Structure 1
């Protein structure tokens, strides 16, 4: 029964693990599909991301990436950014080494803080962080977003030269991506920055490019076209070309679904230029009420200055002075706000904070490194000490064993050496006795052989029936030849054929002593087997010696060695 329960529990656990792995794998597939679609089709990508019901089942890295993809798609769809999700994503990637995703998370954090109007310094610091951590291999679209947002914050603080520089850089990146809609937006912002610097010709030049993009349908959206028309109206208004300005301003108002604040300000300024002060006053008054309802200091100051100009034109100097003072207060408040949240100060503060965080990180890293090194040193020391103790114990044990074995081996070798010495002494004595006996036998045999050979030689020499040329052959037939017979044979040959070896050596000086000996044996008519017996070598070796001898004498393969050597005897 217990075994069945255990098997059931194990089966259920395996199924749950397989199901969980399948769910996680399917959710990762959905993340990959959303990543491929979030640029071209953000609506579809957002639908896929919303289909992941339990993102908390993902790992921490996948969950952070899911949050980042959700933020990106919501931003592309024009939806408000979720506060908690953006902050958590930025906090996660700031703790990792993923610079690309960290830059993206910081960019969206900057946008969130900018939209909510919370802590402008933190917003700018997040944007600076996004700029610093953008890797070199980052796509041009993201670089476009970063540079465009940097241009916006510089333009908001009336630092238009820096704004133009960032807008131009954003435009350069944007053109490499081929996104004409984004290019038109950047061109519109660039024209606004040029107009703030009173460079209306440059502004109109870029606005014409925007109109061309809208007319060709590459970047046609009502809001973009309305914004471009408003900017063109402002440029022509600064150039005092009132008819063109009125055309573009009214066109902007017609194209826009909601009557934006800035375009009505342009209409009021147009009324001022045309000396339609009553209409300008009405527009400024309505815009002032709207600006005060939302507490927009900059717009309130602009409307107060506009009313002061209108009242001054009508000759109401007291009211104009009152409006001017109120506008000056707003301008001072705005300047104070810009001074408190200026970009150089914010960048400097960001640099100091980053430097301090880097120092803290390096100090923590150094402390951890020293701790690890110390721990490793301690472990290494302990390991070395333990190893030394183990090695010394092992060496001492091995030394004792080896010394005992060597003592036994030395004792065994001493006994064996003593036995060998006794054996060698006995063998030397026996060898000496045998040598003496063999020498006596050899002397006795040689003496008998010499006496017999001399007798036979004398008989052969004095026997008139035997020719002198066949004396040696007859002698060889009568006696068996041995390696020791060469001396006697040489003596006989010299007696029969006087000075034959010396003659052969003089004729062929290139021959060695062995070669001369072989020539003499061939001349006296010995066979190869008999020569081999005399020289104490194999018959095959005799054949090889004969072939080498022919080469030394200069004979060919077909020439006869014996015939050539017999010429020494025939000459005698």
Structure 2
């Protein structure tokens, strides 16, 4: 008993420990999701600190997969595999969670975008939008629509890009998020620039700058300003560039280091001053831009300084910056080549993993198909065996029935032969007595003729005629008696043949009964007796047939032995004997035979002649049947 108590306590402690072990996961996931927008790097660190996440519950693991993919995307980590996000997509689809499902589809699209499968990425973004419209997560809808618009813009599908960006702006307004609204204006400005509608483009960029400046979102401001300048250059609106430079410098003074990459800003300002012909100011800001650690900023600044010094005919400095430009370009090219190799390797690994997954899926499908095929074959074999068994059982039942009919016919014929034999023997006996009487009369007439008067010729003639008539009559009767004797001999021979045939059929019948018993379960064989004990009602014909088989099985072919030993018994007599052998009472037997109780008693008494009994003796009919 103590052992069971200790076992229960141990299981309780293990369960409590497991609950405590998992209890820290949900708060961690919630904290990571809270930090996702403001500090995505901290969110990623939290998520990557989870050890063996695949051992979490299905819901926790799917949430972890979604959040870690989202954190890597926000930290600009290039995606190389969809294995994790696939877990989240499948889980949240099954859970009917449109909020998480839409987000999972979006990040799956981001992964395919990084892998270069733009068509698949666009399909997933569209699907994410359809699912997301069932929710009120307008920021996610804004993100998905703007990303879809950007893909359309890259493919130069201007009308679809414009529609997607307009949808994104509407979702931004619905979310009441000013940063998203600023980005939305910039995206529409970008869409107008694709169709070279420069004035409309500048209007939306100015709206974006206004909103970004009001909320001091310097990343949104940087995007709007950079694209604004590009539009100004393409539209030859250099008059607006000086205003842009003032805004940029003002933003730098107010935001300090919050305005993105300052060296990039210096490069942009220097390049703008170069375009408007202010060489000294351009050189000042371009040299500040050379403090950057970004190779693209360094190469662009070096090239601009090369152009400026070449215009001023300071060729030594121009050559110096030109050499720096090509050095940076060479470094960029090497990095790009390296990144290209890494990208190719990542794509190869991804395709290899996809191929392995496909092979694994095909293998699983093959295993499932083989299992289903094997199951179908097994079911077919079982069905065929059942069908064969039923057919054989049916054939055996039919054969038993035919044998029973043949046996009954032979037994009836044998009984008829015995009856004819008895009648012929009785008739032959009568004829023999008649012959004796006639012979006595014949002798008497002979004596009378011998002692009669020879002179009385008339009397002699009369006696002679009577003797002749008696002799003829005796011959006729003798002939009839001889015919009966011959007929009886033939009947006896036939009866012997019938007995042999009956014996052969009984052996065959016993074999079939034995085979049937081996093939048929006992519960099936004796269910009728159980039913008879529970319900006292008259039996149907097929039930009587089954009952006779059961009695044969239980009592060493009782029915067959009874039919052979007492051929005068009819079917009703045999039924009565079987019910008595099964020890049913007279009242129960009356119910089964559908007769009165007194009629059962009288019928038993009437069976004495058929059994060759003058009286049943001690114990009566029931005792005789029980001992038989």
**TM-score of the pair, normalised by structure 1:** 0.50
Give yes or no for contact 1:301–1:327 (8 Å, CA) kept in 2: yes
CA 1:31 to 1:124, structure 2 compared with 1: closer, same or farther past 3 Å?
Answer: same
Give yes or no for contact 1:93–1:102 (8 Å, CA) kept in 2: yes
Q: CA RMSD in A?
A: 5.6
1:194-233 map, 5 Å = 200-214=198-212, 221-225=217-221, 228=224, 232=228
Q: Which residue of 1 aligns with 2:463?
A: none
Distance in structure 2 (CA, Å) of the matches to 1:62 and 1:289: 46
The answer to whether the aligner puts 1:176 opposite 2:174 as a matched pair is no
Q: Which residue of 2 aligns with 1:138?
A: 131
Q: Which residue of 2 aligns with 1:302?
A: 300
What SS does structure 2 have at the residue aligned with 1:377?
helix
Which residue of the other structure, out of 366, 383, 388, is the alignment partner of 2:384?
A: 388
Q: Which residue of 2 aligns with 1:537?
A: none
Superposed displacement of residue 129, structure 1? 5.3
Q: Which residue of 2 aligns with 1:272?
A: 274
Which residue of the other structure, out of 64, 77, 84, is the alignment partner of 1:89?
A: 84
CA 1:285 to 1:202, structure 2 compared with 1: closer, same or farther past 3 Å?
Answer: same
CA 1:272 to 1:199, structure 2 compared with 1: closer, same or farther past 3 Å?
Answer: farther
Distance in structure 2 (CA, Å) of the matches to 1:75 and 1:366: 31
The answer to whether the aligner puts 1:251 opposite 2:253 as a matched pair is no
Superposed displacement of residue 210, structure 1? 1.5
What SS does structure 1 have at the residue aligned with 2:170?
helix
The answer to whether the aligner puts 1:313 opposite 2:308 as a matched pair is no
Q: Which residue of 2 aligns with 1:438?
A: none
Superposed displacement of residue 23, structure 1? 7.4
Which residue of the other structure, out of 354, 365, 373, is the alignment partner of 2:369?
A: 373
Give yes or no for contact 2:299–2:326 (8 Å, CA) kept in 1: yes
1:145-156 map, 5 Å = 145-146=143-144, 148=146
CA 1:335 to 1:40, structure 2 compared with 1: closer, same or farther past 3 Å?
Answer: closer
Superposed displacement of residue 213, structure 1? 3.5
The answer to whether the aligner puts 1:404 opposite 2:400 as a matched pair is yes
CA 1:32 to 1:402, structure 2 compared with 1: closer, same or farther past 3 Å?
Answer: farther
Superposed displacement of residue 9, structure 1? 0.6
Give yes or no for contact 2:33–2:67 (8 Å, CA) kept in 1: no
CA 1:201 to 1:163, structure 2 compared with 1: closer, same or farther past 3 Å?
Answer: same
What SS does structure 2 have at the residue aligned with 1:385?
helix
1:7-86 map, 5 Å = 7-14=5-12, 16-17=14-15, 20=18, 56=53, 58-69=56-67, 72=70, 80=75
Give yes or no for contact 1:103–1:129 (8 Å, CA) kept in 2: no
CA 1:414 to 1:17, structure 2 compared with 1: closer, same or farther past 3 Å?
Answer: farther
Distance in structure 2 (CA, Å) of the matches to 1:35 and 1:53: 11
Q: Which residue of 1 aligns with 2:116?
A: 125
Give yes or no for contact 1:234–1:245 (8 Å, CA) kept in 2: no
Pairs aligned (count): 386
Superposed displacement of residue 206, structure 1? 1.1
Superposed displacement of residue 307, structure 1? 0.5
Superposed displacement of residue 204, structure 1? 1.5
CA 1:41 to 1:143, structure 2 compared with 1: closer, same or farther past 3 Å?
Answer: same
Runs (5+) with no aligned partner, structure 1 = 111-121, 421-572
Superposed displacement of residue 239, structure 1? 1.2
Distance in structure 2 (CA, Å) of the matches to 1:369 and 1:163: 44
What SS does structure 1 have at the residue aligned with 2:238?
coil
Distance in structure 2 (CA, Å) of the matches to 1:197 and 1:333: 35
Q: Which residue of 2 aligns with 1:284?
A: 286
CA 1:7 to 1:362, structure 2 compared with 1: closer, same or farther past 3 Å?
Answer: same
Superposed displacement of residue 132, structure 1? 3.7
Superposed displacement of residue 36, structure 1? 9.9
Distance in structure 1 (CA, Å) of the matches to 2:30 and 2:328: 51
What SS does structure 2 have at the residue aligned with 1:239?
coil
CA 1:83 to 1:357, structure 2 compared with 1: closer, same or farther past 3 Å?
Answer: closer
Give yes or no for contact 1:188–1:228 (8 Å, CA) kept in 2: yes
Distance in structure 1 (CA, Å) of the matches to 2:316 and 2:19: 78
Residue by residue over 1:281-334, the C-alpha shift from the partner in whole angstroms, topping out at 9 and shown as x without a partner, is: 2321231242xx44x1x3233112210222133222454356446546756886
Give yes or no for contact 1:304–1:326 (8 Å, CA) kept in 2: yes
Q: Which residue of 2 aligns with 1:476?
A: none
Distance in structure 2 (CA, Å) of the matches to 1:35 and 1:202: 41
1:410-421 map, 5 Å = 411-412=407-408
CA 1:386 to 1:261, structure 2 compared with 1: closer, same or farther past 3 Å?
Answer: same
Q: Which residue of 1 aligns with 2:3?
A: 5
Residue by residue over 1:338-394, the C-alpha shift from the partner in whole angstroms, topping out at 9 and shown as x without a partner, is: 89989xxx99x97x9999977776665455444443443344334433543454355
Distance in structure 2 (CA, Å) of the matches to 1:337 and 1:316: 32
What SS does structure 2 have at the residue aligned with 1:302?
helix
Distance in structure 2 (CA, Å) of the matches to 1:226 and 1:203: 16
Distance in structure 1 (CA, Å) of the matches to 2:131 and 2:28: 20
**TM-score of the pair, normalised by structure 2:** 0.46
Give yes or no for contact 2:264–2:289 (8 Å, CA) kept in 1: no
Distance in structure 1 (CA, Å) of the matches to 2:370 and 2:361: 14
Give yes or no for contact 1:171–1:183 (8 Å, CA) kept in 2: no
Distance in structure 2 (CA, Å) of the matches to 1:34 and 1:410: 92
Distance in structure 1 (CA, Å) of the matches to 2:394 and 2:38: 78
Distance in structure 2 (CA, Å) of the matches to 1:53 and 1:355: 28
Distance in structure 1 (CA, Å) of the matches to 2:270 and 2:194: 18
- Most deviating of 310-319 and 88-97: 88-97
CA 1:129 to 1:93, structure 2 compared with 1: closer, same or farther past 3 Å?
Answer: farther
What SS does structure 1 have at the residue aligned with 2:256?
coil
Distance in structure 2 (CA, Å) of the matches to 1:341 and 1:128: 23
CA 1:312 to 1:42, structure 2 compared with 1: closer, same or farther past 3 Å?
Answer: closer
Give yes or no for contact 2:108–2:121 (8 Å, CA) kept in 1: yes
